[in-house]
């Protein structure tokens, strides 16, 4: 399955979560985990969030080395080596399997 523009779904499935959100911004603004606004050192497996121009935001999974795994990497799931690939980084929340 191609996950282009389905970042929240891809991340939910990667963690096997039963909790799901309409989009990345709803997840970021939820009470599901503590926000770490602007913190650019998320632990491996943390959800990392951006505010994007489309109004839905973007979410990926931190790799623990300053980058993250995400959808929308040349039409597929791939790794970015820097959290600054997208502008308007919001921060991170702990990953979990609820």
Q: What is the pLDDT of residue 2?
A: 65
Higher pLDDT, 64 or 17: 64
Q: What is the pLDDT of residue 55?
A: 87
**What is the rounded CA–CA span in Å between residue 81 and residue 17?**
25
Give the dihedral sign, CA 14/12/16/84: positive
pTM: 0.90
Q: What is the pLDDT of residues 22-63, one digit of tens each?
A: 999 999 999 988 999 999 999 999 999 999 888 899 999 999
List of residues 6+ apart from 93 with CB closer than 8 A: 27, 28, 32, 33, 34, 35, 36, 46, 47, 49
Q: What is the pLDDT of residue 50?
A: 94
**What is the rounded CA–CA span in Å between residue 51 and residue 91?**
10
């Amino acid at each position: 399955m191609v996950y282009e523009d389905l970042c929240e779904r891809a991340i939910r499935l990667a963690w096997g979560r039963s909790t799901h959100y309409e989009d990345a911004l709803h997840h970021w603004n939820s009470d599901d985990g503590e926000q770490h606004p602007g913190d650019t050192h998320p632990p491996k497996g943390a959800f990392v969030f951006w505010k994007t121009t489309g109004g839905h935001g973007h979410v990926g999974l931190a790799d623990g080395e300053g980058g993250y795994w995400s959808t929308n990497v040349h039409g597929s799931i791939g790794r970015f080596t820097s959290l600054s690939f997208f502008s308007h980084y919001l921060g991170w929340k702990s990953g979990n399997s609820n």
